[in-house]
Amino acid sequence: MSRQRLLVVMPTRNQAAFIERAIASVVAQLGEADTFVVVDGGSNDGTHEVLQKWQSRITKVMIEPGTSQAEALALGFAIGEAEYACYLNSDDLLLPGAVGKALTVLERGTADAVYSHRVFVDEIDRVTHFWSLPRHNNYLMKRWDYIPQETCFWRYDVMQQAGGVDPTLRFAVDYDLFVRMMQIGIFWRCDDFFGAFRIHPHSKTAQQNESVGKPEVAALQTRHGVNIKAFDMPVGTLLREWIALRSKWMRRERGRLQAEINRVVSAVS
């Protein structure tokens, strides 16, 4: 496959309740120079019927039973080179205009990865709350995992230079990748919203954060030499409080963002 502009990978397994909205949010923003790959880890809940419905808008569908999220991402990113890359989990959404906004920043040549603030939605696409994030700082983001993965776009070559996705990970796939990319590239936080993160009882975050996520992040911090010292702890507390306080001011964005999310949902109604 020739080098494309943007490569979007969507890993999925048993997300039939949400994947159609996720797919619609992606394909509405892609052109002929973009590649969209969906890698299914062996769904048995109706996901394949949704994929068949949208197959003309998806560049490649890979059915790989038994693959984990990390393995699915590694497979998807390996199908061909691109200028830029991102991935979207099949229960999240891209907001309208996100691709154009993110790639405009990357095309300036001053950043190797770009992300935005985060908006959270529930199972029925209602905006619930926000993360208002500070300007990017490697020290903060290596220690506290606040980069919203669903909003992040990056240069494909920088991802490859950093070693790509580690297929052995079970939870902190994006954290690991971003920490390695920070070591060689420049990250930029845009004052905007590029994607929506879905909170629901069956998400990996809800089910595995305590049992798998936190131990894996701690192990990765050790692996990458990110040492959390005593004086870091009050910094982390202040960061959380700052984000929570600033996020209250973002309630004024609720109506606008809800309207954008409703536009995405309407594409599959």
Radius of gyration, CA atoms only, the chain: 18
Count CB neighbours of 66 within 10 A: 8
Residue 3's pLDDT is 78
Residue 53's pLDDT is 96
Looking at residues 129-141, what average pLDDT do you find?
Answer: 96
Q: Is the pLDDT of residue 183 over 90?
A: yes
Is residue 54 within 8 A of residue 27, CB to CB? The reply is: yes
Q: Quick one: what percent of the chain has pLDDT higher than 70? A: 95
Q: Is the pLDDT of residue 129 over 90?
A: yes
For the chain, give the mean pLDDT. 94
Count CB neighbours of 238 within 10 A: 10
Q: Is the pLDDT of residue 203 over 80?
A: no
Residue 251's pLDDT is 87
Count CB neighbours of 225 within 10 A: 9
Q: Is the pLDDT of residue 208 over 60?
A: no
Give one DSSP letter per residue of 53-114, joined into a string.
HTGGG-SEEEE-TT--HHHHHHHHHTS--EEEEEE--TTSEEPTTHHHHHHHHHHTTS-SEE
Q: Is the pLDDT of residue 245 over 60?
A: yes
pLDDT confidence tier of residue 269, bands split at 50, 70 and 90: low
Q: Is the pLDDT of residue 141 over 60?
A: yes
Identify any residues that bridge with 193 across adjacent strands, giving them in sequence order: 117
**CA gap 213, 94 in Å, rounded:** 24
Residue 200's pLDDT is 84
Tell me the pLDDT tens digit for each residue of 80-108. Answer: 899 999 999 999 999 999 999 999 999 99
Tell me the pLDDT tens digit for each residue of 143-165. Answer: 999 999 999 999 999 999 999 99
* Domain total of the chain: 1
Name the more confident of 262 and 201.
Answer: 262
Distance set, CA 65 to CA 13, 71, 208 (Å)? 9, 11, 21
pLDDT confidence tier of residue 221, bands split at 50, 70 and 90: very high
DSSP state, residue 162: T
**CA gap 147, 168 in Å, rounded:** 21
Look at the pTM and tell me if it is higher than 0.85: yes
What CATH number should be reported for the domain holding residue 106?
A: 3.90.550.10
Residue 206's pLDDT is 54
Q: Which residues contact 230 (CB under 8 A, 6 or more apart)?
A: none
Looking at residues 104-120, what average pLDDT do you find?
Answer: 97
3-state SS assignment for residue 200: coil
pLDDT confidence tier of residue 61, bands split at 50, 70 and 90: very high
Which domain range does residue 43 map to?
Answer: 4-266
Looking at residues 210-223, what average pLDDT do you find?
Answer: 85
Looking at residues 131-147, what average pLDDT do you find?
Answer: 96
